[in-house]
Structure 1
Amino acid sequence: MSKQKNKNATKYASVRIKADSRGQAAALLIAANKKTYGRKVKLDELIELALSLVTSDHIKLLQSRSLTNEDKKEMLRQKYVEVRGPISRDEFTGFMMTSDFQSFLAESNRSTESEAAAAQNL
């Protein structure tokens, strides 16, 4: 005989998180459950609420935090290619050691800031 599966059964999954994050979640859960009436608030409900509050700005922040120094260097190289033309990775590393690189960085930062300001005005 085969077991009948409950179609309404909730599916659970394990998720690995840091011990500090687990501690924070546990503390919030304890605070949420300090009440006289009602059922216990479950960790899943707390996480669902937290996830619903994540904005696109939070996603952008997480994406920028995930960049390695090599990623940032490659992004600068791509910006250099757009502005000044093709350059190899090795040549760009050499360029980073020149005084011209500082002026390129300043120029790049100005254009990035003006692009961000234009995007906010839309």
Structure 2
Amino acid sequence: MTNSLTQNNAADTEKTSPTTNHPIATLTSFQKRILAVLAQEARYGLASGHRRQTLDILATDGPLTPTTIGDETGLDITHVSRVLSDLQGSGLATILNPDARKGRLYDATSKGTEIADVAAEVDG
């Protein structure tokens, strides 16, 4: 009987051990990256299709002008400018020539590129 109780207590301890049974501890590194991207998307509002699409284009084809982004996405230039401003504010995009009045070039930051790359892997 003592053996049975000792075994049950050991099993209960193992089940509740924070290092072995915490849900995050059982995830693969890829699954952890997926969670990180989802958290970033939620944090930076990338659930918005326009922000996500713009970031994807900048990460793969950048640097680009707002006009080119508008042509590739079908978005109005005013909306592209708003999205670029949001992405800049979130640290996901940067303007390469801020003093230019025309032909400003935008590109994804390293953080923006990483998020776009992992999101693309997740999307398959």
Give the strand-richer structure, 1 or 2.
Answer: 2
- Normalising by structure 1, report the TM-score: 0.33
Indicate the structure whose relative CO is greater, using CA pairs within 8 Å and at least 6 residues apart. 2
Q: Answer with 1 or 2: which has the greater Rg.
A: 1
